Amino acid sequence: MTRALSPETAALGRATQGALFADAALGIRVLPVIGEQKDISYYGSVARGVLNGPEVTGMGFWSINPYVGCAFGCAYCYARYAHRYVLERAATANPEHDGLQRDIASLPPWLAFERRIFVKENAADVLRRALRNGSDRHLALLGEESIVIGTATDPYQPAERRFRVTRSVLEVLAEHAGLSIVIITKSPLVTRDVDLLRRIARSSEITIHLSLITLDRNLARRLEPRAPTPEARVRALARLRANGIAVGINVMPVLPGITDKPEELERLVRTVAEQGATYVNACALRLQSAARQRYLPFIEQEFPELASRYRATYARSHAAGDRYRDGLRDYFRRVCARYGVPFGHIGDGGEEDTGAEPRRVEEREEAEQLTLL
């Protein structure tokens, strides 16, 4: 099934901002705290809409984010700034809500993103109404457009274990046939829903995009402090594949000087190929302003020996240099060929010839960028 997606890299940053703010702009009425877990508070929220259309996001696909904020706390995460917008709107709309006012005053925005999670409790109901048979949205989704779940938050972060909003959204999607669905996650919790994923796969396309940037557990802990371990993600890959679910591995972002050691990347590719990964995709870190504000201080603190190189590399551009990106792509192309796993990439040079359908490769790239940049 061919899905029309915008491939223009130049438009990506603008479109990404649109996507995140579009979600924030849907309007969220905040309810009291519905749960606490260590240092994380969950705010129940009532969303007016959960399906962000291409005309709003500026991208060629639809997106759904069951939560606002993400407890995994990746140092390179791009999505933090949208959370601040939601938090401020919620505080303004609920002046009597002491917790919200305290959060604004006491938590820096990057940390609030990880510790104050908005739960769209009514997401399934809203989605069901939006997708009623014959509605414009339903017809669009039967046509050329895909739904990407998890463009600005991980839909299987710890909140999902308790609140099950992502599962409820998938149950609505399972009521329809002929859809094209992508889920982006770092979490093996996705395997909890394997029954549902299989049901959906019988009548729609569904692909899991599992993000994995290193197999080094200690390094992963520093970079993605609360995300599941690499081993757990590899086990999730194996389980999903054993159940016939398509799983791509997104090695995104590759962090220059940190996760780009060739022997480590080869080990990663070999491992996921052995577990039957449907494809591998990769791209180098991009640092747009929101990610830059968190990531560069993180580098200063955790990898001070790299700080000046990072500042120089990303001084004039949000992207690593052409030589680096081309070299990375060539490297992945060779290593993926060695281990017999398709490599998909869109970039300045176009896609790698992997046997993967080009349109789908573009989508993978853009969808993941939304999360990671």
**Residues within the interface to ligand SF4 (CB under 6 A):** 70, 72-74, 77, 79, 153-154, 186, 227, 371-372
Q: How far apart are CA 228 and CA 248, in angstroms?
A: 17
CB–CB of 144/59 below 8 Å?
no
Residue 27 tokens read as: 């309007």
Comparison of 86 and 227: residue with beta carbon closer to ligand SF4:
227
Cβ distance to ligand SF4 smaller for residue 82 or 273 = 82
DSSP type of residue 52: B
Shortest Å, Cβ 154 to ligand SF4: 4
Query: Quick check: 188 and 69 in contact, CB under 8 A?
Result: no
Q: Are 226 and 73 spatial neighbours (Cβ–Cβ below 8 Å)?
A: yes
Query: What minimum distance in Å lies between the beta carbon of 311 and ligand SF4?
Result: 22
Q: Is 233 exposed, middle or buried (0-12, 13-18, 19+ CB in 10 A)?
A: buried
User: Tokens at residue 99, please?
Assistant: 């917790």
Name the residue nearer to ligand SF4 (CB basis): 143 or 225: 225
Q: H-helix or E-strand containing 140?
A: helix 136-141
| Alpha carbons 25 and 49: distance in angstroms, whole number | 10
Of 163 and 335, the one with the shorter C-beta distance to ligand SF4 is 163
Q: Helix, strand or coil for residue 207? A: strand
Closer of 273 and 370 to ligand SF4 (Cβ): 370
Alpha carbons 354 and 198: distance in angstroms, whole number: 25
Closer residue to ligand SF4, CB minimum distance, 67 or 343: 67
Amino acid at 216: D
Burial (CB count within 10 angstroms: exposed 0-12, middle 13-18, buried 19+), residue 207: buried
- Which residue's CB is nearer to ligand SF4, number 41 or number 204? 41
DSSP conformational letter for 177: S
CA distance 42 to 67: 10
SS3 (DSSP) at 87? helix
Separation of alpha carbons 99 and 105, rounded Å: 10
Neighbours of 204 (CB within 10 A): 19
Residue (62 or 72) nearer to ligand SF4, CB: 72
Min dist. Cβ of residue 135 to ligand SF4 (A): 29
For tokens 């997104």, what's the residue? 250
In contact, 65 and 153? CB cutoff 8 Å = yes
Distance CA(202)–CA(179), nearest Å, equals 11
CB-CB contact of 354 with 342 (8 Å): yes
